[in-house]
Structure 1
Amino acid sequence: MSRTIQQFKAEFFKALAHPMRIRILEVLSEGSKNVNELQTILGSEGSAVSQQLAVLRNKNVVFGVKEGTTVVYSLRDPLIKDLLEVAKRIFDNHLVDAISLLEDMRKES
């Protein structure tokens, strides 16, 4: 694998390395939103949402289109939705394994 691709992947995953950014991407997976809509859905102040959107924009994960006085944000690549779903399935698998381990430990005691 080329070093360029590895660098791209590292930078891409750095962009995802924040809970609010993940949540923003989950919301945008359902459709485009402006900052006010994101703020309401996330229950967070606008400056925090704007700051996280800036990171995602700078890493080319989302893009904004100006509509009048507002900017509407969307996922740059719809495959991000699939990536988030795969990550959730991996988490679910780990959770199932942890529950099974705990049940085995409880049976042994």
Structure 2
Amino acid sequence: MEYLIAIFIGLLYGCGVFLVLRRSLVKVILGIFLLSNATNLIIFLSGGITRGGTPIIEEGAEAADIATISDPIPQALILTAIVIGLGMSAYILALKYRYFDVTGTHDLDQLKNTDQK
């Protein structure tokens, strides 16, 4: 299962980098979103995947029970990263809207033609 998720993360990173290198500002923003989601998945995968594992160790638990617990730290980090990513998304979209109002274009190469002299 971890290999499948690792391949999916690699695809997300590849698509994200491809979109960030495009000329359109909308594609750059979508690439940043993909990179953010891929990073969240990496943090999630670092905690290990255990089904039905609880993050709490009960008193007197045996070694076999301890091996099935899930690590709560990566889950807390992902929740924090999702909130930060949502704030960044709103900020980037607001900047994109203002950028289009001022320049009238989404193409970053046409920005040279919009300079006022």
Bucket of the pairwise TM-score, normalised by the shorter protein? 0.3 to 0.5
TM-score by length of 2: 0.34
**Higher fraction of strand:** 1
Which TM-score applies when normalising by structure 1?
Answer: 0.35
Tell which structure's C-alpha radius of gyration is larger. Answer: 2
